[in-house]
Structure 1
């Protein structure tokens, strides 16, 4: 299933151009509030030795450099961080809560499974992805999600849950990063804050290699089940970890399991983050492996084979794709390395931001990335990172996947097998459409 993007997104997001002001602006009737640089991270002092710009030559490979990083002051890894800390509360007080929809905090049972009882997924007043696959809110104060590359033939390469830490043995980073370097390939990396402070040298390598670093929360929860302050805490600590380790402040995030609604989107947006989802799901997390499931690798092979065949026979000709993969364990990394060369024969493989012409994915302006045509804009790239002027039409929500029932979305349905060592089962392969983009 393939999707395109409505021209109305240009109008909806036209008022959301990024500015460098340090105070929140008020919303306008034409779109979401303008984003601002996260001033509450301005005092974070990054580690030394980081890259200062997008790489122009050969990127590093081989063993990671020795790096000492103190985790003092950070919450416990892979545990929901408390919202009562002074740092989190400072962010809470900095946000304009009148611009955050009053959507309900979702209920979960004792296992952590979200409850959909009583929610009307057909009318879907909160654009709750887990209930309906919605990626474009009807609320003008809430921006749409980035979920599929606009141009047919583009393959937005993304990997979640990194950096893969040393306890993964030989499959730990820089295993995947070295492979990507050998392939001369960049990707979008959605980082768990807990893993960033556990593997800081890997995060530094990823930035030096030219990958795009984004937020994937601190402890990988279903975000709609959290109260507002806890949503802030999950995002804040991950933003801080990435900033302190690598020196960059991300403008992008992906909700674990795709679980997002207008309330969570609006909080993330005010924290300087655009919501990034996907329209093709490899289901690689569910293969046997550390923290994985029992999906046959041959089934995942079949997904890749089908996508490649559709592109080569001309039936996949409407839009490009954003593809969900993981640097989770030996199974996902080996699957990624197996298929990337074959995917590149059929698709133009780029990190997600490149297919949207986003050349500045961080609030720091010294990193200027290639845009869709492969060139790096000269000077201030904010003038060359606008929404493409010609975009095909799109749906406002994701149709039911051919691989799962959206109303019983396993993407936010926890299970005892504990994906990523958490009590949540995994990723429903829902095919999404529509796009929001960071305006610069």
Structure 2
């Protein structure tokens, strides 16, 4: 009996040693968990262009610039910040049809950290309804306004299955920094390590027409792929959940 126990233990040890170790790349690209703040890509060789505050008058132009370069981006959109999202229906559908990722930036772009759980839920569900009405899907990614994640923000977003994105490079376009100043931040950060997720805003002409073309060229020079946030996190295909389409009959309004 003792000999059999020893042999069994030896076989188990041998099997454990023979089993292949987990591939670190597979571990690194595992889909992110909801309610956890994510600042960078999960792997190198990528740059996830991420734009806030739209849709707006420059959205269609930005999609054209990205498409011409074979680049993909993520758009974190609000419902009412720069006019009603339904008034930009054509641009919303164009970006979606082009394979860009559409994500939530809340309905009113208010300070979420001071909101109650029910208020946060309302902010998110209104955007979900708009997306469902326009593209037949609800987003599973979001970026909180002002990058606020305190109070009830993360618990509520986790319960709603949202992956929470912030940034690792702030371009400062919202703070009157010039494209040249923004470009210097990428040059300083470099193209090594896991890919960057920058904070940018599509509501500024300079970001769309000057900074974005520079970033496309910078990525090319450094051998970086321009992908969506979901893809850079190894979660391509996990951007949305299905929704009734439309949720309610049009015409739609905010």
TM over 0.5, yes or no? yes
1:176 aligns with one of 55, 62, 66: 62
Contact 1:164 1:329 in 2 (8 A): no
- Root-mean-square deviation over aligned CA pairs: 2.3
Q: Deviations over 1:357-408 (max 9, x none)?
A: 212211139xxxxxxxxxxxxxxxxxxxxxxxxxxxxxxxxxxxxxxxxxxx
Contact 1:158 1:323 in 2 (8 A): yes
Q: Deviations over 1:59-78 (max 9, x none)?
A: xxxxxxxxxxxxxxxxxxxx
After TM superposition, the score normalised by the length of structure 2 is 0.75
More strand by share: 2
Partner Cα separation in structure 1 for residue 60 and residue 195 of structure 2: 28
In the other structure, the counterpart of 1:356 is: 233
Partner Cα separation in structure 2 for residue 177 and residue 344 of structure 1: 18
The 5 Å alignment of 1:328-347 reads 328-334=203-209, 335-346=211-222, 347=224
Partner Cα separation in structure 2 for residue 283 and residue 344 of structure 1: 23
The 5 Å alignment of 1:140-159 reads 143-159=35-51
The 5 Å alignment of 1:304-383 reads 304-307=186-189, 310-311=190-191, 316=192, 318-334=193-209, 335-346=211-222, 347-360=224-237, 361-364=239-242
Q: Which has the larger radius of gyration?
A: 2
Contact 2:51 2:74 in 1 (8 A): yes
Partner Cα separation in structure 1 for residue 138 and residue 179 of structure 2: 36
Q: Deviations over 1:147-168 (max 9, x none)?
A: 2112123212211111113xxx
How many angstroms does 1:261 deviate by? 2.4
Partner Cα separation in structure 2 for residue 319 and residue 173 of structure 1: 28
After TM superposition, the score normalised by the length of structure 1 is 0.45
Distance of aligned partners of 1:218 and 1:336 in 2 relative to their CA distance in 1, 3 Å threshold: same
In the other structure, the counterpart of 1:434 is: none
1:205 partner SS: helix
Contact 1:239 1:250 in 2 (8 A): yes
In the other structure, the counterpart of 2:185 is: 303
Distance of aligned partners of 1:182 and 1:188 in 2 relative to their CA distance in 1, 3 Å threshold: same
Paired residues, number: 209
How many angstroms does 1:340 deviate by? 1.8
The structure, 1 or 2, with the larger RCO (C-alpha pairs under 8 Å, 6+ apart) is: 2
Q: Deviations over 1:156-211 (max 9, x none)?
A: 2211111113xxxxxx2311101111011111111112242221111111110000
Partner Cα separation in structure 2 for residue 331 and residue 359 of structure 1: 29
Contact 2:114 2:151 in 1 (8 A): no
The 5 Å alignment of 1:21-420 reads 143-165=35-57, 172-194=58-80, 195-261=84-150, 263-287=152-176, 295-307=177-189, 310-311=190-191, 316=192, 318-334=193-209, 335-346=211-222, 347-360=224-237, 361-364=239-242
Partner Cα separation in structure 2 for residue 301 and residue 274 of structure 1: 27
Distance of aligned partners of 1:297 and 1:341 in 2 relative to their CA distance in 1, 3 Å threshold: closer
Unmatched tracts of structure 1, length 5 or more: 1-6, 17-141, 166-171, 288-294, 366-440
1:325 partner SS: strand
Contact 1:146 1:275 in 2 (8 A): yes
Partner Cα separation in structure 1 for residue 165 and residue 126 of structure 2: 19
Contact 2:169 2:186 in 1 (8 A): no
How many angstroms does 1:262 deviate by? 6.0
Partner Cα separation in structure 2 for residue 364 and residue 237 of structure 1: 16
Distance of aligned partners of 1:232 and 1:273 in 2 relative to their CA distance in 1, 3 Å threshold: same
More helix by share: 2
Q: Deviations over 1:81-134 (max 9, x none)?
A: xxxxxxxxxxxxxxxxxxxxxxxxxxxxxxxxxxxxxxxxxxxxxxxxxxxxxx
Distance of aligned partners of 1:296 and 1:180 in 2 relative to their CA distance in 1, 3 Å threshold: closer
